[in-house]
Structure 1
Amino acid sequence: MTETAQAQQQTPSVFGREWARLRADFWDLGMLSWIPVLLCGILWLIFSAGIARDLPIAVIDKDNSTLSRQLTRWLDASPGIQVHEQVQASDQALQLLRERTVFGYLVIPDDFEKQLLGGRQATVQWLYNAQFSSHAGALSRDVRTVTTTLSAGIEMTARAKQGMSTIQAAAQFEPVRTQLNSLYNENISYEAFLTLALMPSMLQIFIVIAVVTAIGRELRDGTVPLWLASAQGSWLRAVAAKLLFPLIAYSALALLYLLFFSLVRDWAVAGSLVGLLLSMLLLVLAYCGLALLLIAATLSLRLSLSGAAFITAPAFAFAGQAFPLMAMPPLARGWAEALPLTHYLQLQTKYWLAGAPWSYGLKEMLILAAFAIVCGALGLFFLSRRANAPAAWGRT
């Protein structure tokens, strides 16, 4: 047997070498297993309540009448509101607002009952901390519901005293009625709205970091010749070994995430299950390709990790879930469209809760596939041309 053949026989396969590296490194293996599961679990726990309840407000009751006290009781009985404190003046309420003890306060005027019983309009003033849009939106909705209900009851009682039936009084009080029906997230649950979108947002961070770290360490430590030798000189095989385990691990985590919310949380996929599964696979492939291009372009573990943080960490803010894509300025919209996460979340929104057939997401699937193929091909090309030179090794 020749020395070359003996050396090849003693060199472990590139896949065995990568698996041995993962088993020997507790944190690298954790990046592909328990760490993302733990963080996703914490993320779900934060939003598991679904709907914000008992948000504190203050009330300034200048009237102190039967109707003003009834309004205060109804506010406190509303599921989303807790009347934390009744104060005497706006200065006290503003102090509570600045301390974030409450998120808004209602001012009931001193002629509240008199105006209502006299058949005139009474105005209550609702002031809230608009810095917290979620708090403000939920509280304003509930305050409006309570005041409207009280107003309607008073008006219908007055008309009933004039001899009108309840049906006639309701029709005259509200001749044009709006019937609101929420679709795809009937309870307006933050768990469905945010958790389903934030899980893939966290997953894409792990994918890029895992791939960049696996290849970047070979460059940093100068072990590229050993890595390439274990792949029998094939860059395609060498890169495939680096991508295989993240691809398997994060596809399994995406499937686990789907099973948890479908079976445990009872949010069955209303649309195309095949389309959603394919979208998840394409998301993982797209970010594997992006990570490969990132490390191949920089040949530096430090710069690649910085680039990964810059691209993936704020990606959710540009994904169109918190702020509409169509309302973004052109530059922000362009950056959003350049991120795979944006297109994946469009697919997830269509397939999971909206009940769309697979054909409705064909455009986004092709875009994700293009990310995976183009970024992956460019990354492989640059790596094979640049990474085998000693000048590329040893960078931090």
Structure 2
Amino acid sequence: MTEAIMPQPGALAREWARLRADFWDFGMLSWIPLLLCGLLWWIFSAGIARDLPIAVIDHDNSALSRQLTRWLDASPGVQVAARVGSSDAALQLLRERSAYGYLVIPSDFETELLEGRQATVQWLYNAQFSSHAGSLLRDVRAVSSTLSAGVELTARAKKGVSAVQASAQFEPIRTQLNSLYNENLSYEAFLTLALMPSMLQIFIVIAVVTTIGRELRDGSVPQWLASAKGSWWRAVGAKLLFPLAAYTVLALLYLLFFSVVRGWAVAGSLPGLLLAMLLLVLAYCGLGLLLIAATLSLRLSLSATAFITAPAFAFAGQAFPLMAMPPVARAWAQALPLTHYLELQTVYWLGGAPWRHGAAQLLVLAGFAAGCGLLGMLLLARRANAPAAWGKT
């Protein structure tokens, strides 16, 4: 009887008391995502891959072949880890991952070059590691092209051709390469900026599913509703307010860190990017609400969360082009809020686009937030009020 007449705390006060009493739930909204985002940034903070090991098979052992080897070793992305005598030994290094490729210099390398003929070096690499292979291929080509150009210009200069004429004759058509939006080809800019929102969306859905799912699992829905004076809107609003506020602040910290501390200023529309971040958090709050309302089971909704959010980055078009995916994969990608947010982040942050270039994607994110949120709210209010829905794991 005493318990029945005790006044119920408000829904917000009740939720705040629950968060303060649970170390891990409070950590999910604060230090855990901060720690993991910091770890993620630290992993890719080098920006570019450096000193990837390769092997060299030098059958010529001449001054030019040794110069080529030294230049390769001096290249920032390459480290000549071993000089071996055969392909079998080099392949063994590749299998051990002590090297990711090897260069074979033929025995007539210097002779062919000095006599004005073409000399071919073989570059063999482990294509299982596409990032390693692409980085090494770029550096190996740059070094071999530089050495080849130097030999050719020296030979023409000996024939009395001026340096300017020799350069023009050797390269009559010159291609000027200019990288846009990620000038240094930094993995920090490419991967970290995309992976942090990908990690954030997992935390958002887990937090929403967990905070509502525990009320259903523990059969405490009557007390939860009583704290909100019987209103499902107040009850759910109190549950969503803390994840919404916490993850919006985390998104702002992420923006401030990379734009101010790392120096990657927002080149396009800052209001557009801020709105996109807010809509991303709202969309995944709505998705979490829809999952728990549809399943009424903490276990099932967490399983669905893992299925939807964990592989979302693979479908977002950042690592593999979206247009090259099969139609079913593209349709699944378009059904994920993360895909649309990362497109907005790409055009607003590094791409320098004005807000109108992402207006359609902003509307899509708003549609996700409103659609999932309203449907989840209606399902929860209709289905979760019955005792049969309580006590499920």
SS at match of 1:10: coil
1:208-250: per-residue Cα shift (whole Å, max 9, x none)? 0000000000000000111111111111111101100000000
| Matching residue within 109, 123, 127 for 2:124 | 127
Selected match of 1:75 from 72, 77, 86 = 72
Structure 2 CA distance for aligned equivalents of residues 224 and 152 of structure 1 = 76
Q: What is the aligned partner in structure 2 of residue 196 from structure 1?
A: 193
**What is the aligned counterpart of 1:176 among 173, 176, 183?**
173
Partners in 1 of 2:225 and 2:211 — Cα distance?
14
CA distance in 2, matches of 1:56, 1:203: 34
Residue type at the aligned position of 2:105 = I
User: Is residue 293 from structure 1 mapped to residue 285 from structure 2 by the alignment?
Assistant: no
TM-aligned CA deviation for residue 157 of structure 1: 0.8
Residue of structure 2 in register with 1:266 after alignment: 263
Q: Report deviation, 1:130.
A: 0.7
Letter in 1 for 2:57: I
- Residue 12 of structure 1 is matched in structure 2 by 9
The SS at the match of 1:83 is strand
Alpha-carbon RMSD across the aligned residues, in angstroms, is 1.1
CA distance in 1, matches of 2:264, 2:335: 30
Give distance in 2, aligned partners of 1:125 and 1:300: 59
Aligned length: 392
User: What is aligned with 2:151?
Assistant: 154
Which residue number in structure 2 is paired with residue 88 of structure 1? 85
Post-superposition Cα deviations, 1:147-201, rounded to whole Å, max 9, x if no partner, equal: 0001011111111111111111111111111000000000000000000000000
Residue identity opposite 1:96 in structure 2: L
> Could you tell me how far apart the structure 1 residues matched to 2:317 and 2:164 are?
44
Deviations 1:93-120 (A, max 9, x none): 0000000001100000011111111111
Q: Tell me the equivalent position of 1:282.
A: 279
- Equivalent residue number for residue 316 of structure 1: 313
Give the one of 288, 304, 309 matched to 1:307: 304
**Distance in 2 between residues matched to 1:34 and 1:43, nearest whole Å:** 14
Q: Aligned pair in 2 of structure 1 residues 282, 394: CA closer, same or farther (>3 Å)?
A: same
Structure 2: any 5+ residue segments left out of the alignment? Answer: none
Taking the TM superposition and a 5 Å limit, the aligned residue runs for 1:112-123 are: 112-123=109-120
Greater Cα offset, 209-218 or 224-233: 224-233
Aligned to 2:392: 395
- Residue 64 (1) aligns with residue 61 (2): yes
Q: CA deviation at 1:263?
A: 1.1
Secondary structure of 2:366's counterpart equals: helix
- What secondary structure sits across from 1:141 in the alignment? helix
Q: Deviations over 1:281-328 (max 9, x none)?
A: 000000000000000000000000000000000000000000011111
* Residue number in structure 2 paired with 1:27: 24
- The one-letter amino acid of 1:362's match is A
How far the C-alpha of 1:7 sits from its partner, in A, is 6.2
Inter-CA distance 143–311: structure 2 relative to 1 (3 Å threshold) = same
- 1:227 corresponds, among 200, 212, 224, to 224
Q: Output the CA distance in 1 between the equivalents of 2:76 and 2:372.
A: 50
Partners of 1:8 and 1:370 in 2: how far apart? 43
Residue-by-residue CA offset, 1:248-294 (whole Å, 9 max, x unaligned): 00000000000111111111111111111100000000000000000
Name the CA distance, whole Å, in 2 between partners of 1:288 and 1:8.
Answer: 34
Give yes or no for the alignment of 1:236 onto 2:233: yes
Whole-angstrom CA distance in 2 between matches of 1:331 and 1:175: 47
C-alpha displacement of 1:9: 7.2
Runs of 4+ in 1 over 6 A off after TM superposition: 6-9
TM-score (norm 1): 0.98
Q: Percent identity?
A: 79
Give the whole-Å Cα distance in 1 for the aligned partners of 2:324 and 2:342.
Answer: 17
In the alignment, structure 1 segments of 5+ residues that lack a partner are none
Q: Distance in 1 between matches of 2:165 and 2:334?
A: 54
Partner letter of residue 53 of structure 2? Answer: P
Measure the CA separation in 2 of the matches of 1:214 and 1:196. 28
User: SS of the counterpart of 2:57?
Assistant: strand
Give the equivalent residue in structure 2 for 1:358.
355
Amino acid at match of 1:394: G
Letter of the structure 2 residue corresponding to residue 264 of structure 1 = V
**Which secondary structure does the structure 1 equivalent of 2:49 belong to?**
coil
Normalising by the residue count of structure 2, what TM-score does the alignment of the two structures yield? 0.99
